[in-house]
Amino acid sequence: MLLQHLFWKRQQFYKKPLITAFEQKMFIRLNEALPEHHILAQVAFSALITSNHFKIRQQFNRKVTDFVVLNREMRVIAIVELDDPSHIGKEDEDQQRDAMLTEAGYTVFRYTSIPSARELRKDLL
């Protein structure tokens, strides 16, 4: 029995939820508000922006945005960030993240609560 434990391969990888319960509510609301659009969750910055400079790429290569809104032509029309209480004290970091995306030509919307479908349509379209 002891030898079996020594040779038994330990699991190294585990599933985890893609988005939090709070983010799930926002995902549903975005889909309600924008049924003619595609909503992507947890999109890597590296899928959205790039740089010719390695040091600059290092600044964003592990960052992820909450939601990306695409039109029917699959073009990004908005990036949506949902700030829960874990963002308290990280305002400077959030500002830097937004600045990177804005410099690349994206429009970023930040919410601290889940807006109505009407408000989302007004903001994003």
Distance CA 45, CA 63 (A): 6
Which of 102, 97, 99, 111 is closest to 63 using CA atoms? 97
Who has greater pLDDT, 15 or 88?
15
Model confidence at 1: pLDDT above 60? no
Q: The pTM is what?
A: 0.86
Note the pLDDT tens digit of each residue in 51-91: 988 787 878 788 999 999 999 999 999 999 999 866 677 78
Select the more confidently predicted residue: 58 or 115.
Answer: 115
* Runs of H (alpha helix) within 1-125: 2-7, 21-33, 45-48, 54-60, 91-103, 117-124
pLDDT at 118 (0 to 100): 98
Class of domain 18-124: alpha beta
